[in-house]
Structure 1
């Protein structure tokens, strides 16, 4: 078997459903398996999986074991030569696995490969490619310079070597993952992708970013981006990561701690001011003439992207039975605006999902079809 796709889920049923629909279309020509590890969800994730996706291998944990342990369990059950660690709140195009897998096979010196990630508005997510967050970078943050945290030597659409990839989408050879020890279980959530990327570098491997390929990562469907989240994220980086990989003097530790506290305070304020967009115009792209969307206002309907017309304040609704995910992703990445929002009609046509901000949870809206 070529590829095992491992998706760790916790209370993200609606987004997981959309993710799996896209994943199964993307592995149509690959010898692959899809493994979902459920971390004791309290929503209807397990029931949804059992009913809608019997071909998916389901592993249910009886407690929330966190990101590292949950994914490592999935790897233990994986039969593929290559692994893809994938978040449940992602959407992939039909060709992405073919291209990433071909690249990984041709470059055995590379441990982890990822793509460009965009959020639910089509906006590029800079955490797609990062640098190792050394204490020196932490000191730069004290001075207000965050740029060194991100790998800005590459443009977002470039391909190239980077130090740190994001755990929302990582492809690697299973034997390499096992050689590196997988995700370190000392991390419950956040920081484990930084740690594993850095461990790969320490073992002489490279990590690689394929910016010409894009994957949607809605973000935040299992976690609210509040102060507690920030403390956990930067605590993982400052406490666990530095204690494991860097020798620190008392002065260096004090500087790192000061920087992290400043980041938490600043970003807590930023995350409180999430702008909600009000769209005056909605368009639905579908070739189903009978499809009616359960909104009280009118929805303009188009059968294909080439016919699409919109104004400066538009919500785009995608019928994924009509459009390919590659078409949708490329359109979103090429049409980003604070006045545009995007929604996905699920394959059962009873839900619309989407996200207007990478720092807050997305929207799941039940539909009543006429």
Structure 2
């Protein structure tokens, strides 16, 4: 009987937990051995007392500070790995599970031994007819986005936002950290989330590392999880998104690939700098540059890069063929993105064929 650890990271998420835990315990399968683990990132809304009063069987790992998404989830992952669980299920505090989802996810990894991670079909809530994610996509310049966001699952129209049928494969670039099942043995080889990232791109980075080791990332559309996703308009997020994009590129690409994409990277960077001034987050962009002026930042990146490049099993040419040259399915339909997509996509279609390493 497979052992599954269900890991939930919370931060002031009391308003979500009744729905999540109610659905979770309603649909715990009898065919699996499970333990529910909640890592609390120093909530101040009464989350921990409420958990102790209502869900005494849950293992609660209280933290003395907000560790962020990456390090916070790592607390739960280490706890589960030390107890020899076979599979580790990550769930955001704002998700709601459905009947049979876990059996479907476990079954997908059981029949695909080279798969390291599998994601359910994520649907929005309460707009349950709209997709949140059918798997996540890596853009060659380090951006990540959710495939099919805000489309209807049966919408056949090839619209700008991507209302289209799924590609005839269940392999994806990476699984959303909002809900995914990880194979413990693969995680031990690839390593946990990168604590340095704090929040954003940590799931992209892990999925990329799985691919470098020859593992697959899968989508299982038969398993459904609802996501009460709220688009964050916080200015601060741009710092983490932009900083982490560069960290992930510098860690995971072969250095020759970085040279090949450098012209597009520079042009995109100039454009983003102007865009940040026009949209009020230029301070966050400048903080990113300040971060990379510190020798300690580069030391941390190079140490991790050396470790990844040492254990990688696949070459870049085998990895990047599935990377996208376009940015699609955005929360806000941006005309600037639509305008630049053809240029960056054309560049990628040419240079990716030059990558033989």
Unaligned runs of 5+ in 2: 145-159, 282-330, 333-357
- Superposed CA deviations along residues 77-114 of structure 1, whole A, max 9, x for unmatched, are 11321111110100000210011111111111111100
Structure ranking higher in helix proportion: 2
CA 1:124/1:153 → structure 2, altered by over 3 Å: closer, same or farther? closer
Residue in 2 that maps onto 1:230 = 238
Name the SS of the counterpart of 1:14 in structure 2: coil
Aligned position for 2:248: 241
Q: CA deviation at 1:234?
A: 3.5
Query: How many angstroms does 1:226 deviate by?
Result: 2.2
Count the aligned residue pairs. 257
Contact 1:156 1:211 in 2 (8 A): no
The one of 269, 274, 292 equivalent to 1:257 is: 269
1:249-300 CA-to-partner distances (Å, cap 9, x unmatched) read: 464442242354577689989xxxxxxxxxxxxxxxxxxxxxxxxxxxxxxx
Q: What does 1:136-175 align with in structure 2 at a 5 Å threshold? A: 155-156=165-166, 160-175=170-185
Match of 1:204 in 2: 214
Question: Relative to structure 1, is the Cα distance of residues 103 and 265 closer, same or farther in structure 2, using a 3 angstrom cutoff?
Answer: farther
**Residue in structure 2 matched with residue 5 of structure 1 by the alignment:** 6
Assess if the C-alpha contact under 8 Å between 1:124 and 1:156 holds in 2: no
Determine the structure 2 residue equivalent to 1:183: 193
Residue segments in structure 1 that go unaligned for 5+ positions in a row: 139-149, 270-357, 360-370
The 3-state SS of whatever aligns with 1:83 is strand
Report if aligned partners of 1:129, 1:209 keep a CA contact under 8 Å in 2. Answer: yes
TM-score w.r.t. length of structure 2: 0.65
- Contact between 1:113 and 1:208, CA under 8 Å: does it hold in 2? yes
Q: 1:33: which partner in 2?
A: 35
> Do the aligned partners of residues 261 and 47 (structure 1) sit closer, same or farther apart at CA in structure 2, a change above 3 Å counting?
farther
CA distance in 2 between partners of 1:267 and 1:26 (Å): 44
Q: Equivalents in 2 of 1:40, 1:13: separation in Å?
A: 12
Match of 2:121 in 1: 116
Match of 1:101 in 2: 106
CA distance in 2, matches of 1:93, 1:136: 32
Structure 1 CA distance, aligned partners of 2:234 and 2:123? 21
Per the TM alignment, residue 210 of structure 1 is displaced from its structure 2 partner at its CA by 1.4
User: SS in structure 2 opposite 1:108?
Assistant: coil
Deviations 1:90-141, CA, capped at 9 Å, x for gaps: 0000210011111111111111100111112125445442322212979xxx
Match of 2:223 in 1: 213
Structure 1 residue matching 2:180: 3-state secondary structure = strand
RMSD of aligned residue pairs (Cα, Å): 3.1
CA deviation vs aligned residue, 1:44-88 (integer Å, no higher than 9, x gap): 111111111111110000011111111111011113211111101
Provide, for residues 172-197 of structure 1, a one-character-per-residue CA deviation record: whole Å limited to 9, x for no partner: 21111121101111110010000000
* TM-score of the pair, normalised by structure 1: 0.62
Q: Is the 8 A contact 2:101 2:222 kept in 1?
A: no
CA distances 1:212-269 after superposition (whole Å, capped 9, x unpaired):
332111124xx843222234223322x2212222343464442242354577689989
The answer to whether the 8 A contact 1:234-1:260 is kept is no
TM-superposed CA distance for 1:153, in Å, is 12
Aligned partner of residue 225 in structure 1, secondary structure = coil
Cα distance in 2, alignment partners of residues 235 and 8 from structure 1: 23
1:54-69 matches, cutoff 5 A: 54-69=56-71
Could you tell me which residue of structure 2 aligns to residue 76 of structure 1?
78
Distance in 2, matches of 1:267 and 1:91, equals 34
Greater CA drift, 193-202 or 168-177: 168-177
